[in-house]
Copies of this chain bind each other. A is one copy, B any other.
């Protein structure tokens, strides 16, 4: 049969020669279907044919058109990530961890960050991603509002959350914030401090809530006074403001801040007020940002393995994509690690 002279389609407009599967098939002397099989289920085709096809693929530099594949299969091997404040160390590391895990599983990742973490915005983001034919969505949503009602939004689309969420219908992979914060608080009590002040994260962040609760529970369990909480916004500035207020109160000997950045601000304020760390005040942070080990003094903090959380999140998502039954309250936690450096010591 002669070649059909077909008009260049819109897709092939760019670049002179877009190689399609039919070209490969022709060169290898097989049908397009066989080429498809070589690419997708190599076992089901005779070895010799397989090699011939692969040679043709290489020779022509053929790359499958993902859009066509998506259209035909309904699966895209791309997942969406909804992030928030991805310049913060935590979320950025989380994103990186997910991306790594996704790549290993041969999934692509498309991201959407949110300006504000409201339920409406999250819903919009998920919808936008759905429009991009993602197979599933991971939400880096450490925010109360963002998880509520997500179940409706995600109708028919697998969704998992990382770093927060209280394990409703949506599976969650997270660091055990509670354990980390409890360890931090206990560490300070063990050193002999009578009680521990806490600079919490924003009250609507789930992680902030968990850390705060652990701090409170730990104090209570030890029969200690629970001082009033103060809420920061994760920024060094809020730590600084907190520190300025604290500096005049000599009864304060130990502080646990909900992240390292706030600890930086706190340290600064205490330095300015002439209070020494850890001699006058002990400080524990949370996150173990790369700078922590080199602050003055090196910061005692709680380290989290974001890479591992990312891998777990992906695993949960793939379970769902694979059609695993919806299991209420599915949750994987990773244990954080208290890293004792020089910002903590015995009181007085």
Which A residues contact B (CB, under 8 angstroms)?
9-15, 63-68, 70-74, 76, 78, 86-87, 89, 92-93, 95-96, 99-100, 103, 108-113, 127-128, 130-133, 155-156, 235-237, 239-240, 261, 264-265, 267-268, 271, 290-291, 293-296, 298
Contact = CB atoms under 8 A, between A and B. Distances in A.
Contact of A268 (B63, B110, B265, B298): B298
Contacts of A92: 86-87, 92
A12 B74 contact: yes
25 contacts: A9-B74, A10-B72, A11-B73, A65-B133, A67-B70, A67-B133, A78-B132, A86-B92, A99-B111, A99-B113, A103-B112, A108-B128, A109-B110, A109-B111, A109-B112, A111-B111, A236-B290, A236-B291, A237-B294, A240-B294, A261-B290, A267-B294, A267-B296, A268-B294, A268-B298
Nearest to A306: B87
Q: Which of A12, A78, A108 has the most CB of B within 10 A?
A: A108
Copy total for this chain: 2
A87 B93 contact: yes
A237 B237 CA distance: 25
A156 B15 contact: yes
A103 B86 CA distance: 15
A74 B10 contact: yes
Contact of A14 (B11, B74, B268): B74
A10 B73 contact: yes
Contacts of A72: 10-11
Given A13-B74, A132-B66, A96 B100 contact: no
A339 to B, nearest CB: 14
Nearest to A90: B87
Contact of A96 (B12, B86, B240, B293): B86
Nearest to A270: B296
Contacts of A70: 67
A177 B26 CA distance: 52
Contacts of A11: 71-74
